[in-house]
Amino acid sequence: MTCSPPWQRLCDCRCIIHHQLPRTTYHEPDCACTITCATQPLTLLAAPWGHALFLDQHGDLWHVPALTNGTWDWAYAATIDTHADHHHATRTIEDLLRRAVHVLTPPPTTP
């Protein structure tokens, strides 16, 4: 399995904004990318908080609120506020997701 960063992948979920394009922003109007799109970074479903958490291309932790029927409110996706109620927990989650990305990233190939 080849692991490449999500921002280097092309959208495969038929989003009218990103289809067959890379995605480096997450809160564009009319974006239909979901957590299953090839462009979506490593994601953690935080059901008790009603959000999904993910790292952006810079390794910063973002959240996206859940809507009904398993959809996501991308218009309100944003980085985690340092004054958020769960800030301490999100710092731990951010660190663990960064470690997971490190473990999943293949070592550079030598020519």
pLDDT digit string, tens, across residues 55-74? 887 888 888 899 888 788 88
Predicted confidence at residue 1, as pLDDT, reads 43
Strand order, beta sheet including 61-65 = 43-46, 51-55, 61-65, 78-79
User: Residue 104: what pLDDT?
Assistant: 76
Query: Is this prediction's pTM over 0.85?
Result: no
What would you report as the CA-atom Rg of the chain, rounded to the nearest whole angstrom?
Answer: 14
Each residue's pLDDT tens digit, 7-38: 788 898 888 888 998 887 888 888 888 778 88
Res 106: pLDDT: 72
